Amino acid sequence: RYRLYSTRSQPSPPLQVQGKTYARDTYSNATPTILSKVGKNLHLKPNHPLSILRSRIEAHFPQFQHLNSLSPIVTVKQNFDDLGFPPDHPGRSLTDSYYLNKQEMLRTHTSAHEVELFKAGVEQFLLTADVYRRDEIDRSHYPVFHQMEGANVTTRGEGLARLEKENEEMRQRLDSANIIITDPTRETTATNPIQEEHSEEEARIISDHLKNTLNTLVLRLFGGLRKEGDQEPLQVRWIEATFPWTSPSYEVEVLYEGKWLEILGCGVVKQDALNRSDVPQKLGWAFGLGLERIAMVLFSVPDIRLFWSEDTRFLSQFNEDSITPFKPYSRHPECYKDLAFWTAEGFHENDFCEVVRDVAGDLVEGVQLIDEFVHPKTNRRSVCYRLNYRSMDRSLSNDEVNEIQAKVIETVVEQMGVEVR
């Protein structure tokens, strides 16, 4: 396997993040560009769409603890092991996640904090934070995005009686609202089982409470958006899912302008995870929702990179009092460059994208595979990528783009052992 950094003879210095030092090892793959995002905290920036959305959701859960400042550097144990991810789960691989070293990583989801919070005795919380994943490059993917984790656990008996009472109240609200909820997951208990530690009644109360809570949340977020006189009901559907620490598990999709949009994953927390949190007597649910996905729709933001813009033409458009659509200002022209090369063994597209991001930063808008073939005699694989460059904030000169492209080429040759055609 090639290494993104430290190809030179002297050992690389340890990684520095927010004043702390992390020893490097063969796992270290967090790049300076990625590490420079740590501490930006867009979800706390006043009048930023992500912060506005966060406050809206927090208002739906007034009795929950609202946590917004947990460090994105977590242990592999927190992010994966505590939640029951098997050792060979693909999410753990170096092509999908950012590691500081073998033990420490940038969290890939806010669920990384569930066990520590349950352990600390917290029963109801909403946790908003930046999460990091190595991924493709396009208008809806960025290696840093924001999630909000919600969890509600309680003791058997009394606690469940309260949930049942709240179920009744939420059901009445939903019955009188202009919303269609499609839920085939009620029939798929064979593939999405209730836990053997739960009675059927307990499992039903918790699942219903989770579903009622999220259906009323969706109604609050998306319901008010429809235009005056719009008789079309809001449509939500529930889909069976799998997460290692919940069962049953679900995903929620909302129909928006003719398209189903996946907004969250959730489920009934597994007894295993609660035992690991030293609260074996409790039971409850958890969800994790993606803020950018929802904010792009609610605020009509066409490109996920805009959330990172410092341009006042973007930032000045939003305020806490209302959700108003983004009015695009004239976009600067794009410039694309094609790059064809023979891949080396073990080539992975996410690694290539990482190099591009590290060299070009936010100036790269998209990376798209436009051609590939395998040489019939040598079996070597050739690929051609189209790299789209565009700044959100200014015009790029052709010279500047050529310079970035040259640097990309130099870096992929040096670090990935590819051969430019």
Binding stretches for ligand FA5 (CB under 6 A): 109, 111, 133, 135, 141, 145, 147, 243, 246, 262-267, 286-290, 292-293
Of the pair 215, 246, the CB lying nearest ligand FA5 is at 246
Q: DSSP labels for 127-174?
A: EEEEEE-----BTTB-SEEEEEEEEEEEETTHHHHHHHHHHHHHHHHH
Q: Which residue in this structure is represented by tokens 């209730």?
A: 194
Of the pair 80, 243, the CB lying nearest ligand FA5 is at 243
Closest contact distance (angstroms) between CB of 133 and ligand FA5 is 6
- Asked if 266 and 286 count as a contact pair (C-beta separation under 8 A), the reply is yes
- Asked if 237 and 257 count as a contact pair (C-beta separation under 8 A), the reply is no
- Asked if 182 and 250 count as a contact pair (C-beta separation under 8 A), the reply is no
**Among candidate residues 130, 129, 133, 34, the one with its CA nearest the CA of residue 90:** 133
Of the pair 22, 125, the CB lying nearest ligand FA5 is at 125
Long-range pairs of 35-44 with CB within 8 A, sequence gap ≥ 24: 37/130, 37/132, 37/144, 38/72, 38/73, 38/106, 38/130, 40/130, 40/308, 41/68, 41/69, 41/130, 42/130, 42/146, 42/307, 42/308, 43/68, 43/128, 43/129, 43/130, 43/146, 43/291, 44/68, 44/69
Closest contact distance (angstroms) between CB of 288 and ligand FA5 is 3
Closest contact distance (angstroms) between CB of 105 and ligand FA5 is 14
Of the pair 111, 343, the CB lying nearest ligand FA5 is at 111
Closest contact distance (angstroms) between CB of 155 and ligand FA5 is 20
Side-chain-side CA neighbours of residue 327 (13 Å): 6
Q: What are phi and psi of 51, to 5 degrees?
A: -75, -40
Closest contact distance (angstroms) between CB of 132 and ligand FA5 is 10
Closest contact distance (angstroms) between CB of 290 and ligand FA5 is 2
SS3 95: coil
Of the pair 274, 339, the CB lying nearest ligand FA5 is at 274
How far lies 322's CA from each of 44, 197, 295, 310, 325, in Å?
Answer: 17, 45, 13, 21, 10
Closest contact distance (angstroms) between CB of 14 and ligand FA5 is 29
Of the pair 49, 265, the CB lying nearest ligand FA5 is at 265
Closest contact distance (angstroms) between CB of 270 and ligand FA5 is 10
Of the pair 287, 352, the CB lying nearest ligand FA5 is at 287
Which token pair is 111? 């669920």
Q: Which residue in this structure is represented by tokens 């597994």?
A: 270
Of the pair 96, 400, the CB lying nearest ligand FA5 is at 96
Distance CA 126, CA 383 (A): 44
SS3 367: strand
The residue sitting closest to ligand FA5, measured at its beta carbon, is: 290
Closest contact distance (angstroms) between CB of 293 and ligand FA5 is 4
Of the pair 307, 318, the CB lying nearest ligand FA5 is at 307
